[in-house]
Amino acid sequence: MPSIKTRFTYRFIRAVQKLNKNRGVSSSMKETYRRYHMIRVASYASMASAVGSKRAWSQAVLRKIRNHTLHRDLKKKCGIHALIRRRKVSENPRNNLNFHQENDLRKLVPGGEDMDFCRLLNETAHYIKCLRTQGLHPKTQLLER
């Protein structure tokens, strides 16, 4: 079973290749910015698909990307399931004392709005681990060429 790192690298490189094939050659600001955006989304998407749907954050990432592609106006945030989950989380009597940081963390971790604090910590740990491999290895290798 290949590690997450290799799986991610595989997908990411393929995505970037496809990007380069499709996009034009111009190195204008606009084009570069667009390419930057594509590459960033490709990075997160390949990371999330390398992780799979086992994790809540990867699920949330893939869901958001797909929703944004298909229904650009329909934001998943307003979906009924998300609403129910979020209400359940906010109504939780076992509220934490560190409310401020908790909220910030929820905003940072994808899909963090709908989970309780305990799960949020879980997802954060895994997210940090994957972010490390995402940011370090393949891109620096690519850039060094």
Partner 1 sequence: MEPKVEATELEYRSGICGLKPGDIGFDDIHGLISAPPPPPETSSSFTALLELPAPQAVELLVNSLEVADEFPAKPDIAHFPPPQIFPSNIALIDHASKFSSLPLADNSSENYSLLSVSSSKKLDIVKQEQMDSDSNPNGSSPAISDQILKSSKRKEREKKVKESNKKSKKVVQNESYEEGGEKLPYVYVRARRGQATDSHSLAERARREKINARMRLLQDMVPGCKKISGTAMVLDEIINHVQTLQSQVELLSMKLAAATPRFDFNPDTLLAAESGSLMDSSHPGMFTPSVWPEGQINGNSQQSQQLWHFDGLQPVWGGEENNSNFITPDNSFLSYDTSRNSAAASLHSSQ
Question: Does the protein bind partner 1 through residue 82 (CB under 8 A)?
Answer: no
Question: Does the protein bind partner 1 through residue 44 (CB under 8 A)?
Answer: yes
The half-sphere exposure of 73 on its side-chain side, counting CA atoms within 13 A, is: 0
User: In the range 97-136, which residues lie near partner 1 by CB under 8 A?
Assistant: 97-98, 101-102, 104-105, 107-110, 117-118, 121-122, 124-125, 127-129, 131-132, 134-136
The end-to-end CA distance of the chain, in Å, is 28
Question: Does the protein bind partner 1 through residue 26 (CB under 8 A)?
Answer: yes
Q: Which 3-state string (H, E, C) describes 69-127?
A: HHCCCCCHHHCHHHHHHHHHHHCCCCCCCCHHHHHHHHHHCCCHHHCCHHHHHHHHHHH
| CB of residue 39 to partner 1, shortest distance in Å | 4
Question: Does the protein bind partner 1 through residue 83 (CB under 8 A)?
Answer: no
| CB of residue 81 to partner 1, shortest distance in Å | 16
